[in-house]
Structure 1
Amino acid sequence: MQKVTLTINGVPQHVLATPEMVLLDLLREDLHLTGTKQSCDRKGQCGACTVLVNGKATLSCITKVTKLEGAEVITIEGLGTPINPHMIQEAFVLSGAVQCGFCIPGMIMATKGLLEKNRNPDDEAIKKALARNLCRCTGYTKIIDAVKLAGQFVRKETTPEEVRGKLDPTKMLGVSHVRPTSMIKACGVAKFGGDIYPKGALEIAVVRSTEFHANIKSIDTSAAEKMPGVAGIVRAADIKGTNRLRQVHPDQPVLCDDRVKILGDAIVIVAAETKEQADAAAKAVKVVYEPLPYVMEPEDALKPGAPVLHAHAPDNICARQPIIKGDAEKALAEAKYVVEANFTTQTNHQAPLEPESCVCWWEGEGEKEELVVAGRSINIHFHLNQLKEALGLQNMRYVEPFSGGQFGIKTWITSEAIAAAAAIHFHRPVRYIPSLEESILICNKRHAYHIYTKLCADNEGYITAMFCDWLMNKGAYTLNGPVLLGRSIMMLSGSYHIPNLKVLGRSVYTNNAYTGSARGAGPPQTTFSTEVAVEMLAEKMGIDPLEFRRKNSLKAGQTKATGMPVSEWSFVEVCDAIKPAYDRAVKSAQEWNAKNPGPVKRGVGIAAHSFGVGGAGDSAKLTIEVNPDDTFTLYAAIADPGEGNDAMIAQIMAHALGVPLEKIRLYLRDSDKTVLMGPAAGSRMTFMAGNAVLLAVEELKKAAAEAGGMTYEALTKAGKPTRYEGLQKNEGPAGLDKATGQGKAQVTECHNIQMAEVEVNSETGVTRVNKMTVCVDGGTVINRHAFEGQLEGGMDQGVGYALREEYTLGKEKDYVQFKFPTIRDSFEVETIIVETPRKIGPLGATGVGEMTMVSTAPAVINAIHNAVGAWVLDLPATPARVKAALAAKK
């Protein structure tokens, strides 16, 4: 041990440090300065732990405390507070750079270090200074904007007050009002799961399968139970409920009892007084396996004699869904132009920056005692019911702390089930904060698809038919696989009128990574194949790709793939709005290529999609209340892991009530005070929650008219309630015909076209995206910063999906191996917004959180083809695959 004296946020600290102790652990574990975040397993890869040491931006997770004698350390808590924020914190908030907020303290401290040296940094200087700081939400565009605005503040060219003064407080639509939680996130005050430390909490570790498929012959925990600090072991037999999690089929064990079906399956829980003790004891548990045959690809799982994963699916098919619309065989026979190809998309990790976390504690006494589960669900009531069923305890409450992004990853609750099982067994508070490596291993991933597509057109340039056959790699467990298969089917025809379709989609169990929701949730894979096939067909016919898409747009009264007619369809307007930018980009690339005869070529590619919003038969419920001080509280189970749902719902509510935002209070994400809202997924929250708020306000206004006022006093004097419910119920019923795939799908849509401008080196195969342009019609824009942030973040993830990101079970264990996009990979973004108010949307709005993820990859692949003439049909388009495609072309 070494005695070290240093100053932290102006306070002298005297520390006895071991040689291994890093500054991050001193800050978080000893001083509970939790604004400094831990994400990358202390490898110096993410920048979330950035602090200032003697004025220099420093990664605290790799900085030894023994090296800090006499140092002056400033953390995010020492920079400013929500009441008295630093101008850099103000800049990040006012620029819309704060989404989930997990990375923001590190970003701000890195910016502070930069501006101490360079008060007027250009883009390159900003990217260099923030190159170690990762963000999954923003795409870095608004991060760069925030640093530039902070520079203006530092140089006294403007002030936060002047910027805020430009926001019209009386206007709620299209205005970038500050998100309600942005400032507490920017000041490091917001508590994420790993920031919660209940008194007397046990720390837990999980013994996980080291086999892909095996019978469990024995589990020996005797040595682990004798180790220092160990409170005990939880086995499958200790769980009082079904010990199964389900969304469709109850087929995933909380703890495996006799068989494991995937690398990383949970077997036993070890609980101890410290995380180090729990981890050490978990390593002492001995599991003996009988290995079984396993399959990793769906084609192999369908072969005779393949190992069967579940008794309910002896053929290993999780779900199947065809589409039979019109007469595709006849259309093919008559078609003048036909293209066909095989496509593959990869398993993809959603990669939120906050690793998995769940903290549980007990509240109340006797019959009123309940277990509080603080997890990261996007659908708290649905998941709470799953936990009650699996664990056999009814007195449970679910609360959601702030969540560091999720992008579909938290439609599943394995971590919550593990933590709650331990809390129930030991009847003590529990913290389960797995490492990044474990988090990556255990969370659900985006499905890999194998797709055959054939697309046909007539002499006039109209698409006449589509054939499609695809296999989804479901992995070992069902989760919401049938739902995602249905979503792929529902949005298969995208923006186009395709009168004849013959499609078969199958989801197949394997021993690979279990898969579920990921941003886009179904359409990204099939839109990739469809949009590349559309590009091939346009090229074969000699028609401009944009004009071909415009020509084949659906029109009001025509039907989507599922036979559902559309009543309004503004895709043509989107095509027209992007055309000037498209023409400029094509001309620029052609001129550049003519002047540069070397191996680097530029290309332009487009892709389109019409993303369905608000499922048929879907519902959402919430409550508003008039308070004694005449403010208004919204009680709603609305998750907001970064999308801006809090700003959206507050602005819709304020607009409907005709009051300033200061009058709106939000009480979200607590199962005791809210009712079933449904998931913050599928871009549904603006449409569903927004409409529910309007319905609740309508009921309040009716009562207020009878009471002679909307004040608390007027309502109570008139004997009127002060609480009003809003229930949005979409026209239904939902569901597709099992034989034909015809039926009702989503009730409205958002439309977009994305354009990628790329450079491709034909010698190395390296592709660089220089610019992405998105033209979108999502109806009325509520909060412009939030709207743009979703578009920009989706494109950044889409480029990663297109060019570099790929998950192999058990291989990618950190951000470097995953090839997480950094600010140096960021690109110029242009956003073109078409606002066509939707007749059934709240104030005309829909939702745009996912559609740019859907269209980016095909736009990039089409741009690569435009640059070098080769088709890359397997994602991601790595340099090796680009070179192989070029070689095949020759």
Structure 2
Amino acid sequence: MQKVTLTINGVRREVLANPDMVLIDLLRKNLHLKGTKQSCDRKGQCGACTVIVNGKAVLSCITKVVKLEGAEVISVEGLGTPLNPHLIQEAFVLSGAIQCGYCTPGMIMAAKGILDKDPDPSEATIKKALAHNLCRCTGYKKIIEAVQLAGKFIRKETTPEEVRSALGPAMVGVSHVRPTSMIKACGVAEFGADIELPSNTLEVAVVRSTEYHANIKSVDTSVAEKMPGVAGVVRASDIKGTNRIRQVHPDQPVLCEDRVRILGDPIVIVAADTKEQADAAAAAVRVEYEALPAVFEPEEALAPGAPVIHAHAPDNVCCKQPIIKGDARKALAEATAVVEAEFSTQTNHQAPLEPEVSVAYFEGEGEAEELVVVGRSINIHFHLNQLKEALGYPKMRYREPFSGGQFGIKTWITSEAIAAAAAIHFKRPIRYVPSMEESILICNKRHAYKIKTKLAADAEGHMTAMFCDWLMNKGAYTLNGPVLLGRSIMMLQGSYHIPNLEVMGRSVYTNNAYTGSARGAGPPQTTFATECAVDMLAERMNIDPLEFRRMNSLKPGQTKSTGMAVKEWSFVEVCDAIKPAYEKAKKAAQEFNAKGGHLKRGVGIAAHSFGVGGAGDSAKLSIELDPDDGITIYAAVADPGEGNDAMLVQIAAHRLGLPLDKVRLYTRDTDKTVLMGPAAGSRMTFMAGNTLLNAIESLEAAAKEAGGRTYEALTKAGKPTRFEGFHKNQAPAGLDPKTGQGNAQVSECHNIQMAEVEVDTKTGATRVLKMTVAVDGGTIINPHAFEGQLEGGMDQGVGYALREEYQLGKQKDYVSFKFPTVRDGFEVEIIPLQTPRYNGPLGATGVGEMTMVSTAPAVINAIYNACGARVFNLPATPAKVKAALPKSQDATAAN
């Protein structure tokens, strides 16, 4: 041990440090300064742990304390507080640069590192300073803008007060600050690993399968149970409930009994006084396996004699759904032009920055005692019921802390059942903090699709028929597979009128990564195939791609692929909105390419009409009029970064004429809230917004009878002060299992995206220069939140298009996953339209996933436009692009 004297946030400290102690542990464990975050397993890859040491931004996860003698350290807590924030923190809040907030403290400290040296940095300088700081939510654009605004504050060109006053008094259509942005900026928002627990808390580790498919012959925990600090182990036999997590089919075990179906399946929980002790004991557990044949691709799993993954599906088909609409075969035979191709998309990880942390502890005494489970759920009531069933423990409550992004992962339980099972077994508080490597392994992923498509048009260029056959790689467990297959079916036609369809979608079990929701949840894969085929058909017909899409737009009264008629459809207006930018971009690319050389530029477009608010979907919440005549909204509305908190507050303030600070939120806890449904499918603005307005209508009706909308008036008149809100989409749910006809989503967000790319024909490397999106999401509640969702979706979409791919057991960190950094950023232009939706809250609908759906095909179409390389299999790596180059281009590049 070595004594080190240093100053931390202005306070002189003397600490005893061993040679391996790193600064993040001193801050978080010793001093309980939790604003500094850990994400990348201390590999120096993510920047979430950034602090200032002697005036320089450093990564605290790899900075040894013994080397800090005499150093001056500033963490985010030492920069400012919510009541007295630093100008940089103000700038991040006012720029809309904060979504989930997990990366924010590190970003802000990195920004301080550069602004202290240069208060007027160039964009290139900012990107260099933030190159080691990752963000999955924002797409980096608003972070760069925040650093630029902070520079203006520091140079005294403007002030935070001037920026705030410019917002004006309106409640809707204004970028009011999100209610939680400042506490995230100051590092005091509590995420799962930040929760302080009592001294008798146990830390847990999980023994996971090292085989892809095997019978468990024996499990020996005898050595592990005798190791220092170990409290004991939990096996499947110790779980009193079903030991199965069930959403559609109860096939995923909390702990495996006698068989594993995937690398990383959980077998034993080990609990100890410290995480290090738990990890060491878990490594000492010996599992003997009998290896079984494994299959990793749907075609293998469907082949005769393939190993059966689950007894309930002897053919390994998880689910299937056709569409039969009109007579596609006849229309294909009679068509003037038909294009046919096979496409594939990769398995993809959603890649949130926060590890899959869960906490469980008992609260209350006697009959009032209940188990509190703390996790990152976006559907807390549903997950609570899943946990009760799986663990056989009915007295349970679920609480969601702040959540570091999720992008679909948390439609499913990842780690909560482990923590809860251990708490029930040991009757002690439990903290489960898996590493990022383990978190990546245990999360559900985006499905890989293999898609065969035919698309036909008549002599005038109107699309007449589609044939489509696809296989989804379901992986080892069902999760919400049938739901995602249905979403792909419901939105298959995208923005277009295609009167004749013959489609078969099948989801197939394999021993690969189990798959579920990921941003877009179904449509990104099928839209990639459809939008590439649309471009190919437009070329075959010699019609401009934008005009071809416009002329094939669905119109009010026409039907989607499921036969559901639409009442409003503004896609033509979206096409018209992007046309000037499209013509300008085409001209610029042509002029660049006319100069010759191996660098080629291209322009590609892709479109989609994303369905929001499923048929038969419902939601509930309640509001309460408070004694000061403000209101409290009780709603199980998760907000892992989308801006749902701001949406609720601004709608309520607008409708009731209240200042923002008189609208309070009680969310993310099953106590005092009711079933809202998931923060998924871009449904929260539509569903929660409509439900909130329903509750407000009840309040207003009571106030009218009481002669005033005050707490005093209602109580004097004997009226209630708490009102329930309910909303249900009236279209009956469900598709015909034989034809796929039925009701789909009841609202849509329309967009068309344009990618401008540069392709190096020598290497095949593609660089996205700019993304432009024209989008109609109805009334915009908060422009910063609106823009942030579109920008973040495009950033993820470009990664999906060009580099990201998850291979089970191989991608263990951000480098191997090829996580996009600020240096991969591109220019963004957003062209918003606001056609009020007849059934949306204040005319709004959801936009959170829209740009994720259309980005990849836009990029792929732009690559083709640039150099003639048509890539059919995502991601479009340099090798794939170079292999797809026409021989003439390849020969030119070689010269």
Residues 102-141 of structure 1: pairs in structure 2 closer than 5 A:
102-141=102-141
Report the equivalent of 2:384.
384
User: C-alpha displacement at 1:618, in angstroms?
Assistant: 0.2
Amino acid in structure 2 at the alignment position of 1:650 = V
What SS class does the counterpart of residue 85 from structure 1 fall into? coil
What is the CA-CA distance between 1:321 and the residue it aligns to? Answer: 0.2
1:576 aligns with 576
Find the counterpart in structure 2 of residue 403 from structure 1. Answer: 403
Who is 2:23 aligned against?
Answer: 23
Question: In the alignment, is the contact (CA less than 8 A) between 2:356 and 2:414 conserved in 1?
Answer: no
Q: Secondary structure at the match of 1:117?
A: coil
Q: How much has 1:732 moved relative to structure 2?
A: 2.6
Q: How does 1:483-562 map to 2 (within 5 A)?
A: 483-562=483-562
Aligned counterparts of 1:116 and 1:453: Cα–Cα separation in 2: 56
DSSP-derived class of the 2:763 partner: coil
Aligned to 2:420: 420
2:368 counterpart of 1:368: yes
Q: Which amino acid aligns with 1:231?
A: A
Does the CA contact (< 8 Å) of 1:100 and 1:643 recur in 2? yes
Structure-to-structure mapping, 1:14-163, within 5 angstroms: 14-163=14-163
Amino acid across the alignment from 2:315 = D
Once residues 269 and 229 of structure 2 are traced to their aligned partners in structure 1, the CA distance between those partners, rounded to angstroms, is 14
Deviations along 1:25-69, one digit per CA (max 9) or x if unpaired, are 111111110100000000000000000001100100000000000
> Which structure 2 residues correspond to residues 832-851 of structure 1 after superposition, within 5 A?
832-851=831-850
Structure 1 residues 330-377: Cα deviation after superposition (integer angstroms, max 9, x where no partner): 101110100010000000000001111001111011111001011000
Alpha-carbon distance, 1:13 to partner = 1.2
Aligned to 1:430: 430
* Paired residues for 1:239-318 under 5 Å: 239-318=239-318
* C-alpha separation in 1, matches of 2:400 and 2:262: 28
The residue number in structure 2 matching 1:450 is 450
Secondary structure class of the residue paired with 1:386: helix
- Separation of aligned partners in 1, 2:625 and 2:259: 54
Conserved? CA contact 1:606–1:858, under 8 Å: yes
Q: Distance in 2 between matches of 1:399 and 1:107?
A: 27
Secondary structure, counterpart of 2:231 in structure 1: strand
The letter for the 2-side match of 1:779 is: G
Shift, 1:657, TM fit: 1.1
Contact 1:872 1:885 in 2 (8 A): yes
Instruction: Tell me what 2:675 maps to.
Output: 676
Q: Which residue of structure 2 aligns with residue 804 of structure 1?
A: 803
Residue aligning to 1:641: 640
* Aligned counterparts, 1:680-719, within 5 A: 680-719=679-718
| C-alpha displacement of 1:414 | 2.7
Equivalent residue, structure 1, for 2:207? 207
Aligned to 1:44, the other structure's residue is in SS state coil
What does the per-residue CA deviation read over 1:401-439, in whole Å, with 9 as the maximum and x for residues that have no partner? 000000001111130011100011001100000000000
1:39 touches 1:48 (CA, 8 Å); kept in 2?
Answer: yes
> C-alpha displacement at 1:887, in angstroms?
5.5
In 2, the alpha carbon distance for the partners of 1:353 and 1:887 equals 40
Deviation, structure 1 residue 761: 0.5
Map 1:175-214 to 2 at 5 A.
Answer: 175-199=174-198, 200-214=200-214
CA–CA distance in structure 1, aligned partners of residues 139 and 603 of structure 2: 20
Contact 2:603 2:865 in 1 (8 A): yes
CA contact (8 A) 2:325 2:563 kept: yes
Unaligned runs of 5+ residues in structure 1 are none
Would the aligned equivalents of 1:759 and 1:769 in 2 still touch at CA under 8 Å? yes
Give distance in 2, aligned partners of 1:796 and 1:533: 23
Quote the Cα distance in structure 2 between the aligned partners of 1:567 and 1:756. 30
Is the Cα contact below 8 Å between 1:197 and 1:431 reproduced in 2?
Answer: no
- The reply on whether 1:629 has 2:631 as its aligned counterpart is no
Name the counterpart of 1:790. Answer: 789
2:546 and 2:111 mapped to 1: Cα distance? 41
Distance in structure 2 (CA, Å) of the matches to 1:881 and 1:54:
46
Per-residue Cα deviation, 1:527-568 (whole angstroms, up to 9, x for no partner)? 000000000000111100000000000000000000000000
Q: Matches of 2:657 and 2:569 in 1, distance apart? A: 31
CA distance in structure 1 between the aligned counterparts of 2:450 and 2:353, rounded to whole angstroms: 29
How far did residue 117 of structure 1 move?
Answer: 0.8
Amino acid at match of 2:833: V
CA apart distance, 1:175: 0.2
Give secondary structure in 1 for the equivalent of 2:613.
strand
Q: For 1:724, give the aligned amino acid.
A: F
How far apart are the structure 2 equivalents of 1:888 and 1:211? 44
RMSD: 0.7
**Shift of the alpha carbon at 1:135?**
0.2
How far apart, CA to CA, are the structure 2 residues paired with 1:475 and 1:409? 15
Q: Supply the AA of the counterpart residue of 1:273.
A: D
TM-superposed deviation, 1:888: 7.1
Match of 1:820 in 2: 819
Q: What's the secondary structure of 1:744's corresponding residue? A: coil
Q: Deviations over 1:597-643 (max 9, x none)?
A: 11100000000000000001000000000011211000000000000
3-state SS, counterpart of residue 184 of structure 1 = helix
Tell me the TM-score normalised to structure 2 length: 0.99
Query: Which residue of the partner structure matches residue 335 of structure 2?
Result: 335
The one-letter amino acid paired with 2:676 is M
CA distance in structure 2 between the partners assigned to 1:835 and 1:70 by the alignment: 57
Q: Is 2:38–2:48's contact at 8 Å kept on the other side of the alignment?
A: yes
Aligned match of 2:882: 883
CA distance in 1, matches of 2:771, 2:731: 37
**Counterpart for residue 462 of structure 2:** 462
TM-score, reference length from structure 1: 0.99
Q: How many Å apart are 1:662 and its aligned residue?
A: 1.5
Deviations 1:161-217 (A, max 9, x none): 000010113x12210000000000000000000111310211000000000000000
Paired with 2:351 and 2:589, the residues of 1 have a C-alpha distance of: 33
CA distance in 1, matches of 2:361, 2:152: 46
> Deviations for 1:434-488, whole angstroms, at most 9, x for unmatched residues?
0000000010000000000000000000000000000000000000000000000
Q: CA deviation at 1:886?
A: 1.1
Matches within 5 A, 1:4-19: 4-19=4-19
Q: What SS class does the counterpart of residue 516 from structure 2 fall into? A: coil
Do the aligned partners of 2:264 and 2:441 also contact (CA within 8 Å) in 1?
yes
Using the aligned pairs only, state the percent identity.
80
Partner of 2:893 in structure 1? none
CA contact (8 A) 2:736 2:742 kept: yes
Deviations 1:798-826 (A, max 9, x none): 00000000000000000000000000000
Instruction: State the partner residue of 2:346.
Output: 346
| C-alpha distance after superposition, 1:658-684 (max 9, x if no partner) | 211111000001101100000000000
CA distance in 2, matches of 1:646, 1:38: 25
Task: Determine helix, strand or coil for the equivalent of 2:525.
Answer: helix
Letter in 1 for 2:11: V
Q: Distance in 2 between matches of 1:475 and 1:448?
A: 9
What is aligned with 1:321?
A: 321
- Asked if the contact 2:358–2:431 (Cα under 8 Å) also holds between the matched residues in 1, the reply is yes
Cα deviation for residue 693 of structure 1 reads 0.6
Alignment of 1:716-865 (within 5 A): 716-865=715-864
Is residue 254–residue 414 contact of structure 1 (8 Å, CA) maintained in 2? Answer: no
SS at match of 1:61: coil
Aligned residues: 888
**Paired residues of 2:869 and 2:882 also in contact (CA < 8 A):** no
Letter in 2 for 1:146: A
Residues 212-251 of structure 1: pairs in structure 2 closer than 5 A: 212-251=212-251
Residue 869 of structure 1 and its aligned partner are, at CA, apart by 0.7
C-alpha distance in 2 between matches for 1:584 and 1:208 = 55
Distance change (3 Å), C-alpha of 1:209 and 1:835: same
SS in 2 for 1:606: strand
- Give secondary structure in 2 for the equivalent of 1:634: strand
